[in-house]
Amino acid sequence: MLVRTFGWSMVITVIGLAFAGLIWGWSGLAVVAILSVLEISLSFDNAVINAGILRKLNAFWQRIFLTVGVLIAVFGMRLVFPVAIVAITAKINPVDAVKVAVNDPDRYQHLVTNAHPAIAAFGGVFLLMIFLDFILEEREIAWLAWLERPLAKLGKLDMLSVVIALVALLVAAMTVATAVPLHGGHGTVDKTATVLLAGVAGMVAYLVVGGISGFFEEQLEDEEDAEDAEDSEDGAEAAGGAGVNTAKKSGTSALGLAGKAAFFMFLYLEVIDASFSFDGVIGAFAITNQIFQMALGLGIGALYIRSLTVFLVRKGTLDDYVYLEHGAHYAIGALAVILLVTIKYEINDVITGLVGVVLIGAAYLSSVVRNRRLGEGSGEPEQRTEVPSGV
């Protein structure tokens, strides 16, 4: 299982490190290795969230996630995205932005760092919406029941998550965004308007992509329920309708989402991955300002996160350890707050990574205790969503 799931990531790691050593020497190899570890530590919670969504998709869209999605994650977010940010914020054409990134790394780092408030506001609000919609939704299983149960009751108020996110954005805009230190520490600049605009854009992106994918998912579920009811009626007239209905429902959920619902769910996955990559891309500048070293190191780390996502789905880990998704969403909430704070203040990536690891580790241990208490520690989950092998 481990070799089949992580095999390609290991092969690419060896090739990537060998290439780095050949082109940039031992120092370049070390930088790429450090960036890979940085990306993995910062994005572990991303793998848990991705697994929770990936298991809803059918085999075809799972393959798309593992092929096209990897290309988007590695080349799009770790190579193209920083250059695009430079082009937009510096108001230069993409060709000149590439030239700056390749030929003038110091200026490139300066331009990307100055764009950080907008990046942090967009990603922070997007991730905050994910956390709020999770924590304000009533669910059968609660990890921190003393907190989640009351919040779920409050969540019955329409658009409460939007209101809270907007308030958080306003607080950030009126506090940390009013005096953002310039790169190099030479004075400050007011980024209030930039932060407000980027934060609203992050919310719009979440509402549009998440709303459309949710709409098609609900539509598909309604169609399945209608088919199940029809089969149940037909089966009851013949004899044993309940058995037919059960078989139908089992087969439907095993197939997973397809068509428009799967497409927008895939887009939602990619936007989530993009939001998680923001802190990694910005944090990488503390290690190097060489764009190709950065892309290679972060790309290798992104491959392991994709492999970990597949591993979690194949093993049915989220079914066995039911609090993992809770821990991952709390980590998302913490990362959202950290991103908004970093608009002005620098927070070490070690702290950012440790917050996620500690929360997910606590959720895992709580799940183990729950399984032992219920006598389910060695039991198989009721249903597995198999990610297609051969990718």
> pLDDT of 307-319, one tens digit each?
888 888 888 888 8
**Mean pLDDT highest for which of 50-64, 85-99, 137-151?**
137-151
Contact of 129 with 339, CB cutoff 8 Å = no
Q: Is 202 or 268 the better-scoring residue by pLDDT? A: 202
Query: What phi and psi, each to the nearest 5 degrees, are found at residue 89?
Result: -75, -35
Give the per-residue pLDDT at 350: 77
User: Is the model more confident about 376 or about 131?
Assistant: 131
pLDDT at position 218 = 74
Amino acid at 131: F
* 15: nearest Cα among 4, 29, 27: 29
Distance CA 161, CA 136 (A): 8
Mean pLDDT of 21-25: 91
SS3 189: strand
Close Cβ partners of 15 (under 8 Å, ≥ 6 residues apart): none
Judge whether residue 366 has pLDDT over 90.
yes
**Residues 322-335 pLDDT 10s:** 899 999 899 989 98
What is the tens place of the pLDDT at every residue in 138-191? 888 899 899 999 999 998 888 899 999 999 999 999 999 988 887 666 678 889
Q: In this model, does residue 254 exceed pLDDT 60?
A: no
Q: Could you tell me the pLDDT band of residue 382, with boundaries at 50, 70 and 90?
A: very low
Instruction: Name beta bridge partners: 57.
Output: 257
pLDDT-derived band at 252 (thresholds 50, 70, 90) equals: very low
- Output the average pLDDT for the chain: 81
Q: Name the token pair of 279.
A: 């802190």
354, 347, 332, 316: which is closest to 275 by C-alpha?
332
**Both tokens assigned to 110:** 């300066």
Please tell me which of 170-179, 280-289, 369-378 the model is most confident about, judged by mean pLDDT: 170-179
Domain range annotation of the chain: 2-374
What confidence category does residue 14 fall into, taking pLDDT thresholds of 50, 70 and 90?
very high
pLDDT at site 250: 38
Does residue 78 surpass a pLDDT of 50? yes
Cα of 131 vs its chain's centroid, Å: 11
pLDDT at 33 over 80: yes
Judge whether residue 131 has pLDDT over 70: yes
pLDDT at 204: 92
Confidence of residue 385 (pLDDT cuts 50, 70, 90): very low
How large a percentage of the chain has pLDDT more than 70?
A: 83
Distance CA(293)–CA(109), nearest Å, equals 13
Q: For position 330, what pLDDT does the model report?
A: 93
Residue 383: per-residue pLDDT:
47
Q: How confident is the model at residue 61 (pLDDT cuts 50, 70, 90)?
A: confident
pLDDT value, residue 380: 47
Span 204-227, mean pLDDT?
A: 74
